[in-house]
């Protein structure tokens, strides 16, 4: 391992906090961006225990960090420690990116904006007036559902193994954004017709993720139709069983690697007031693949 000897007294510092944190790929994403763009910013991971969250945040202010990312389990708990929260992050009730401006902390959710940006680039379209099925009703689903509702989706069908969680999320979208969400058990009959009518299907569950590559969030067989867009937030493996079935049926398929990279790129842009082009993002994605 090479420790970057280019870190100097004037190097800016950003970090990610979570518990656990050892699995995080954010240091590799951000340090790849810094190296590629030639920006003097180093990014490090911190394991923070629940009882030390507040102290850690005070320390970041005291040490003038430019900003930090927040991962599980603090994306919600961080809200009350911030001075300002973006409208989207407030609706999602989760912040993954914080900018420190002279000791004032600004919170954002770049999971949802990164998802939107990658989706647009990979598919050439957006969510406006589309019928969308979202598989799963956990934290990732909430970020996706809020974003696509804000972007003008015509209808959102939330399909979840535990139907009650889908109902809670659909109710939240209907009450707080627009009355377009419905909830179903993931293998209910009605769920199948929702899947067949959808323009876009988004998997936010962990079913099919390494090492459970044989799993599918929905029952296998004749789920998809030609022309649908199927986006799986999973990036390991690059082609889940769900995506392989969708591809066979003639769907446009996209995995979650681009969303992962873009949530990092958007955080980097917020901290450094830079804008990273599509071409640069493509190169950063290729460089980052070396770490997978
Ligand atoms: P995340 O933050 O990644 O969304 P989460 O909040 O724990 O994680 O949510 C995980 C989601 O994946 C849930 O919707 C979960 O369904 P349940 O609510 O029924 O638990 C879903 N999920 C996980 N494993 C699954 C599987 N094998 N099949 C179907 N859904 C699954």
194 and 93 share one domain: no
Q: Is residue 5 part of a domain?
A: no
Residue nearest atom 2 in ligand 1 by C-alpha distance: 139
Q: Are both 137 and 166 inside the same structural domain?
A: yes
For residues 113 and 7, which has the higher predicted lDDT (pLDDT)?
113
- Separation between Cα atoms, residue 222 and residue 241, nearest integer Å: 13
Is residue 250 included in any domain, yes or no? yes
Ligand 1 near 160 CB (within 6 A): yes
Q: Which atom of ligand 1 is nearest to the CA of 216?
A: 28
Task: Using the CB atoms, write b or e for 14-36: b if 16+ within 10 Å.
Answer: bbbbbeebeebbbbbbbbbbbee
Strand order in the sheet with 12-18: 41-47, 12-18, 67-70, 97-101, 104-108, 84-85
Residue numbers of the domain that contains 263 = 12-108+258-289
Q: Evaluate whether residue 4 is within a structural domain.
A: no
170 and 246 assigned to the same domain: yes
Q: What's the rounded mean pLDDT across residues 73-87?
A: 98
Q: How many C-beta neighbours within 10 Å does residue 40 have? A: 12
Cβ neighbours around 286 below 10 Å, total = 11
Instruction: Give 3's pLDDT tier (boundaries 50, 70, 90).
Output: low
**Nearest by Cα to 145 from 108, 118, 107, 183:** 183
Share of the chain above pLDDT 90, in %: 93
Mean pLDDT of 172-176: 98
CA-based torsion, 261, 267, 268, 273: positive or negative: positive
Q: What is the tens place of the pLDDT at every residue in 33-52?
A: 999 999 999 999 999 999 99
Q: What is the pLDDT of residue 273?
A: 96
Please name the residue that has the structure tokens 């999602």. Answer: 92
pTM of the predicted structure, to 2 decimals = 0.97
Q: Give residues with Cβ within 8 angstroms of 49, minimum separation 6.
A: 19
Q: Is the beta carbon of 207 within 6 A of some atom in ligand 1? A: yes
Task: Report, as residue numbers or ranges, the catalytic residues.
Answer: 75
Measure the CA–CA gap between 240 and 246, rounded to whole angstroms: 10
Confidence of residue 188 (pLDDT cuts 50, 70, 90): confident
- Asked if residue 120 and residue 249 are part of one domain, the reply reads yes
* Domain containing residue 275: CATH number: 3.40.50.10860
Residue 136, domain member (yes or no): yes
Whether 96 maps to a domain, the answer reads yes
* Domain identity same for 60 and 144: no
pLDDT (mean) for 146-175: 98
Structural domain includes residue 3 = no
> Does ligand 1 come within 6 angstroms of the Cβ of 237?
no
- Please give the tally of structural domains in the chain: 2
Indicate whether 114 pLDDT > 90: yes
Indicate whether 136 and 192 sit together in one domain: yes
State the distance from the centre of ligand 1 to the C-alpha of 205, rounded, in angstroms.
5
For 194-225, what is each residue's pLDDT tens digit? Answer: 999 999 999 999 999 999 999 999 988 889 99
Tens digit of each residue's pLDDT (9 = 90 or more) over 221-251: 889 999 999 999 999 999 999 999 999 999 9
Does residue 206 line the site of ligand 1, with CB under 6 A?
yes
Residue 289 and residue 268: Cα distance in Å, rounded? 18
Q: Measured in angstroms, how far is the CA atom of residue 166 from the centroid of ligand 1?
A: 11
User: Is the same domain home to 195 and 92?
Assistant: no
- Residue found under tokens 């004032």: 104
Neighbours of 2 (CB within 10 A): 4
172 and 133 fall within a common domain: yes
């Amino acid at each position: 391992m090479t420790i970057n000897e280019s870190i100097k007294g004037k190097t800016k510092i950003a970090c990610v906090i979570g518990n656990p944190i050892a699995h995080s790929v954010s240091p590799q994403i951000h340090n790849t961006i810094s190296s590629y763009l030639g920006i003097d910013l180093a990014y490090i991971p911190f394991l923070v225990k629940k009882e030390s969250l507040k102290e850690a945040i005070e320390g970041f202010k005291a040490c003038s960090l430019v900003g930090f990312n927040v991962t599980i389990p603090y994306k919600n708990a961080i809200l009350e420690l911030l001075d300002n929260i973006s409208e989207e992050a407030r609706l999602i009730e989760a912040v993954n990116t914080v900018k420190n401006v002279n000791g004032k902390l600004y919170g954002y959710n770049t999971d949802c904006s990164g998802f939107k940006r990658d989706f647009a680039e990979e598919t050439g379209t957006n969510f406006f007036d589309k019928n969308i099925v979202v598989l799963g009703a956990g934290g990732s689903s909430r970020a996706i559902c809020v974003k696509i509702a804000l972007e003008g989706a015509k209808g959102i069908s939330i399909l979840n193994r535990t139907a009650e969680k889908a109902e809670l999320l659909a109710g939240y979208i209907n009450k707080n954004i627009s009355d377009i969400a419905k909830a179903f058990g993931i293998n209910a009959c009605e769920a199948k017709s929702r899947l067949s009518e959808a323009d876009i299907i988004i998997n936010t569950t962990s079913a099919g993720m390494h090492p459970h590559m044989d799993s599918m969030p929905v029952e296998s067989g004749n789920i998809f139709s030609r022309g649908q867009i199927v986006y799986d937030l999973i990036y390991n493996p690059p082609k889940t069983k769900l995506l392989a079935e969708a591809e066979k049926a003639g769907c446009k398929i996209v995995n979650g690697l681009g969303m992962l990279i873009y949530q990092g790129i958007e955080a980097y842009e917020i901290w450094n007031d830079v804008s990273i082009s599509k071409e640069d993002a493509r190169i950063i994605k290729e460089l980052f693949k070396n770490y997978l």
